[in-house]
Amino acid sequence: GHLPSSDRVTTLVAQARDRFHSVDQGKVADYIPALAQVSRELFGVCVVGVDGSIHAAGDTDYQFSIQSVSKPFVFALICQVIGEDEARAKLGVNSTGRAFDSVIAITKINQGTSNPMVNAGAIAATSLAPGNTAADKWQFIQTELSRFAGRPLTLNEAVYQSEAATNQRNQGIAKLLQAYDRIFFDSTEATDIYTKQCSLNVTAKDLAVMAATLANGGVNPLTQERIIDPVHCQHVLAVMVTAGLYENSGDWLYETGLPGKSGVSGGMVTVSPGKGGLGTFAPPLDEAGNSVKGQLVTQFLSEQLGLNLFASQ
Ligand code: GLN
């Protein structure tokens, strides 16, 4: 299948943005102090087709920190480097059913594995980045996430400093992983690289391009560069389906029928395999830390564009 005609997609993206623009529910994240500074009004919606077509409405060029939306892309890169079997053995791929920053999800029963969409598995994934030093690992992550976006992504220093000063919980998670031999680099340094990874600036348009790359078998539809092999896209999307919206992943799948990933800054990606990617930005979050308007607009577009993976036609 394909997306509907280009004009139709452009019209629906604009309609979708107008439809939910005035929704004022949710709370902007403030556990990372710098995130609380962002305006709750910002709202951008962008669809990028696997053919490279771009359909944007609203604040799609506004830069914000990527946060947990980085997780599926880093997991994809780690699968590419160490292979999907080793990635699964080291990180786990089962849903925890718990919050993104859950400590009690890290249990003896699973030998400390979780999945790479929650902080524990994501910090472990980051620790597996190639390179012998923190600087090399960070450079790998920044360079490769930039290739997913098709442009150089820069660090949001204010967000990084703010989170680095307040990320004791993630440092604790990393130490707990160490106790289970489930972190593969110095735990403090791995947490710091993960914090930088979460602080990379992106736009809703960048997120749509990144999502479209996963929809397109790992080739960025704008630059035509191959970032990962097609087989890894399938694995990443499978883990997104079960865990991309943390404890609300079941509700999300019920509503959209698509793999998605949220982040606390209000960004979201949704992937329609073989068709395209959706990137949204709207800071107010629900209780699980997922963008309220991002979810509404994605559900609407999934229906209107006919993207639900479980629809028979
Ligand atoms: N950097 C954030 C954290 O680790 C990312 C969490 C998120 O976006 N859900 O707390």
User: What is the mean pLDDT of the segment spanning 183-195?
Assistant: 98
Q: How remote is the C-alpha of 65 from its chain's centroid?
A: 11
Measured in Å, residue 224 CA sits from the centre of ligand 1 at 30
Task: For residue range 111-150, list pLDDT tens digits in order.
Answer: 999 999 999 999 999 999 999 999 999 999 999 999 999 9
Nearest CA to ligand 1 atom 2: 67
pLDDT of residue 198: 98
pLDDT of the residue at 11: 98
Are 186 and 217 within one domain?
Answer: no
For residue 173, tell me if it sits in a domain. yes
Residue 176 and residue 109 in one domain: yes
Is the pLDDT at 306 greater than 90, yes or no?
A: yes
> Is residue 147 within 8 Å of residue 221, measured between CB atoms?
no
Rounded average pLDDT over 225-233: 98
The mean pLDDT value for 263-281 works out to 98
pLDDT of 268 > 80? The answer is yes
**ipTM of this complex prediction, to 2 decimal places:** 0.97
Q: Examine the pLDDT at 259 and tell me if it is beyond 80.
A: yes
Closest CA to 265 of 227, 242, 298, 294: 294
Residue with token string 């593969």: 184
pLDDT at residue number 155: 98
**Per-residue pLDDT averaged across 39-68, rounded?**
98
Tell me which of 167, 183, 198 is where a domain ends.
Answer: 198
58 and 171 both lie in a single domain: no
Total number of domains constituting the chain: 2
Encode pLDDT of 247-258 as tens digits: 999 999 999 999
Q: Kindly state whether residues 33 and 13 are assigned to the same domain.
A: yes
């680099």: which residue's tokens? 185
In a domain, 312, yes or no: no
| Domain with 142 in it | 70-198
Structure tokens, 286: 């629900």
Q: How far is the CA of 67 from the centre of ligand 1 (A)?
A: 5
Whole-number Å distance, alpha carbon 120 to ligand 1 midpoint, is: 11
Is residue 310 assigned to a domain? no
What pLDDT sits at residue 106? 94
Residues 189 and 260 both lie in one domain:
no
What stretches of the chain adopt beta strand conformation (E)? 44-49, 54-58, 64-65, 201-202, 260-262, 267-272, 276-281
Residue 167 and residue 278 share a domain: no
Q: What distance in Å separates the CA atoms of residue 202 and residue 205, rounded to the nearest whole number?
A: 8
* Per-residue pLDDT at 60: 98
Q: Which of 178, 198, 218 is the last residue of a domain?
A: 198
Indicate the average pLDDT of the chain.
Answer: 97
Atom 4 (ligand 1) nearest CA: 119
Q: In this model, does residue 313 exceed pLDDT 90? A: no
Mutation choice for ligand 1 from 31, 163, 169, 269, CB with most ligand atoms inside 8 A: 163
Check whether residue 121 and residue 263 sit in a common domain. Answer: no
Is beta strand 54-58 parallel, antiparallel or unpaired with respect to 44-49? antiparallel
Cβ of 160 closer than 6 Å to ligand 1, yes or no, is no
Quick one: 57 and 136 in the same domain?
Answer: no
* Interatomic CA distance for residues 202 and 154, integer angstroms: 8
Q: Calculate how far, in angstroms, residue 119's C-alpha sits from the geometric centre of ligand 1.
A: 7
In a domain, 81, yes or no: yes
Query: Is residue 192 lining ligand 1, measured as CB closer than 6 Å?
Result: no
Tell me the CATH number at 62.
3.40.710.10
Q: How many CB atoms lie within 10 A of CB 19?
A: 14
Q: Would you say 44 and 59 are in contact if contact means Cβ atoms under 8 Å apart?
A: yes
What totals of helices (H) and strands (E) does the chain contain, helices first?
Answer: 12, 7
| 76/143 same-domain check | yes
Mapped to the 3 state alphabet, what secondary structure does 178-243 carry?
HHCCCCCCCHHHHHHHHHHHHCEEECHHHHHHHHHHHHCCCECCCCCCECCCHHHHHHHHHHHHHH
State in Å: Cα 61 to ligand 1 middle: 22
By most ligand atoms within 8 Å of CB, the mutation choice from 32, 67, 70, 162 for ligand 1 is 67
Q: Identify the pLDDT of residue 137.
A: 98
Read off the pTM.
0.98
Are 48 and 87 contained in the same domain? Answer: no
Instruction: Give the number of other Cβ atoms within 10 Å of residue 133's Cβ.
Output: 10
Q: Under a CB-based contact definition with an 8 Å cutoff, are residues 168 and 17 in contact? A: no
Residue 1, pLDDT score? 78
- Residue 234 resides in a domain: yes
